[in-house]
Structure 1
Amino acid sequence: MTDFTVNWPTAYPKLDVTAEFRTFDEDFLVSEITNRKLHESGPHLYLQIEKRGANTQWLARQLANHAKLDLKDVGYAGLKDRHAVTRQWFSLPIKNTEPDLTHLFSKEEFTLLAKGYYGVKLKRGALGGNAFRIVLRNVQGDQASINQRLELIRNQGVPNYFGEQRFGHDFENLKQAQHLFETGKRPRNRQKASMYMSAARSYLFNNMLAKRIEENCWDTPINGEVFGFAGSLRGFIQENTSEERTRLREQRIHPSCALWGKGDSLSQTDLLALEQEQAQRFPVLAAGLEKQGMKQERRATRMLLPDLFWHWLDDSTLVLRFNLASGYFATSVLRELGVITQAQRDIENESLE
C-alpha cells in the first residue's frame, strides 16, 4: 500500500502563527453563489436553505422523504459541512403540485431563505462559487505580519491545492481508490466510486503543484505551459504572444497542471516532463484513472482572492471574508497564514470546498 502524505510546501515563507477555526458552527459560514436567474414557475423547484448541524446528503434525504421523491431526484451543486452554517441551493422536480415542506422547515436547524423555479435539475458543480466568512480564534502571532501576509495573498493569490479533506480521514478515499484500481471492483454506490477517483486525481494534481512551488514556478509559466481560467477544466497551449503576456500580467489567465486521465496532455516539454514525473511516482493511481476512463483536464495552479477582507474582533480573533470559485478550498488560504488547526470538537471529516 502506498504511503500517502499531505506535507506539501507553501508558496510563502512560514509565519510563526497559530490559530483555530470552526470553534463554533457560526465561525464557518458558507453561502453558495448562484449564476442562475430563477422564474415564477417551471418544472423544478429551487430552494435556498440555511442549515446547521446537518450535512448536504442528509438534508437531501430529508427533502426527498418530505416531498415523496427518490433521493436521485434531489439536486444540489456541492457538498457542504455539517459543522458550519451553510446556505445552499437544492432542486426538486414538480410532478403534480409543489410539495408541502412545512414540517421540515419548522425545525430550528433549517431555514428557507428563498425559492424559485428553473427548467432543469440542479447538478453538481453548477454554481458560481462560494462566499466564505471564517472566524479564527486563539490567534497567536505578530498581528502586523499577519496583516502583511493577507495583503500579499489578496494581491498574489495562493496555490490552488485541493484540501486535505478531499482524501478522507487517514487517506481512506485514496486507499479505496487504490483498491478499486488494483482489483477493478467498483463499489455499488456510484457516488463513492466517483469520490475515490476524484481523490486520486486531486492527489496527483497536488503533487504536481507542490513540485512547481519547489521550483518557484507555481504562478509563472514554464516551457510547454498550458494556461487556464479560474474554475475551468479547460486550457490552451502557451503561444508567447504580447496579448497572452498581458492577460497573464493582469491575472486573467493562470498556469495550470493536469487533472490526470486518459488522452494526450496539452502540456509540452518541461511542464509535460514535470507532470509525467509526478504521475509515475504513483503508477497505480495514474494508470487506474486512465483505465477507468477519466478524461485528462486542467486546473489552474493559482487561486486569486481580490475580494479578501479581514478585521480583528480583538487581539486574538480574526474574521476573514472571501469568495472562491466552485471546487476551490478555503483551507488552501488558511495554510498560507501559519498553523491553522480545526478546533477539537469531535468533528467528522467533511468537505470544505
Structure 2
Amino acid sequence: MTSSDLYPVSRLAAVQEATAKAGLDALLLTPGPDLRYVSGYDAKPLERLTCLVVPAAAEPYMMVPRLELPAAQASPARRLGLEFVAWDETEDPYAIAAARLGGAAKVGLADRMWAMSSLRFREVLPQAEQVLAGSVLRELRMRKSPGEVAALREAGEAIDGVHRLVPGLLRAGRTEREVGRDIAEAILASGHATVDFVIVASGPNGASPHHDVSDRVIQAGEPVVVDIGGQLHNGYCSDSTRTYSVGEPPADFAAYYEVLRRAQEAACLAVRPGVSCESIDAAARDVIAEAGYGEHFIHRTGHGIGIETHEEPYIVAGNGEPMEAGFAFSVEPGIYLAGRHGARIEDIVVCTESGGERLNNTPRDLVIV
C-alpha cells in the first residue's frame, strides 16, 4: 500500500468541489488530521503557520515557514502540484494569505486549528464568517476508500497481535502501570508509529471506561479491561478492547460478561447499508437493558475511526444517519458496576455492501489467565 492509495491526488479536487458546494470561499487547513487527510502531509504543529489554503474557485496552495519547506516538499503533498508559498521570519503569513484570499466572505477552519491561528485569521479577514472545515470534510472522511479500509485492516491485525501477548503479561502482583509499560512496548514493536493510549483497568478501576493505568496491584480473581490503540506510520489508527480475568472471576461478573458478549455480537450483526447509526447502538443497548444492566452501560456504542481514533460517524442514540459502505467505526458496549468491576468488548467494524466486516479477530470470550 502506497501513499497514493491513502492520499490520492483526486482528493484535493473533491475537497475543492465540496467547498464550493457548501458555499465557502476557502478552507484553511493547519497541521492536524484535516490537513493530513487532504494532502498526506503530517506537518508539525508549531507557532509558525503552516496552512493548506483550498479556495473554492482558484488554485490551492500551501503556506509554509521557509525552514519547513524541505519537509513539506518531501511529503505526499508534493504529488498534488501545489504551489508552496514559503514565508520568512520577518513576514506575516496571515496577512499574505488574507491578501491572496481577497474579499472572502466565508471560510472553513480546520477542526483542530489552534485558537491563536483562528483568532489571527479573524483579525486579518474581519469580514469573513468562520465555520468548521469538518462541515465540508465529514462526508468525505466518513466514506473510507478501499485503500483506507486496507490500512485499517492492517492496524487491526497489528493490535490483535498485541492482545495475543496480553495474557502473558497479566498476573497477580503486577501493577497496572507495569503491564501498561509492556503493552506500550509491544504496540511499537507491532509496527505502530505511536502509542495513542493504553488502558489497564483492574478490579474496581474496570468500572471507569477511560481509566488509564495506575500503581494499583492486580489481585487474583480480578477482571482486567485492556483497551489499547495507536497510529501506524501511514496515519491510520487501531483501537481494540478485550477483558481478561486473572484467575476465576466473581460469579456475578461472569454472568454479565456473557450478556455483554451477546450485546456486542448483536450490534455487529446489525451493521449493513441503510440502517441508522442509532439502530446499531440500540441493538447492543437493548440486550443489556433486557438483562437488567441498562443503567450500567454509560456511553455510546461506538465512534468512527480513520486518521483519528475518534471521528464521525458516532454510533449513538439520536444519530439517524444511514450506514453506507465504507463507514468504519468501533462497536464497544460496556457494563460497569461502580466500585466493583467492569467489562468492555471492542472491535473495529467496516460496513460493506453485504454487512459488517470485523477488523479485530481475537477471541471475544472471557480470557482467564
More helix by share: 2
TM-score by length of 1: 0.27
Larger Cα-atom Rg: 2
TM-score by length of 2: 0.26
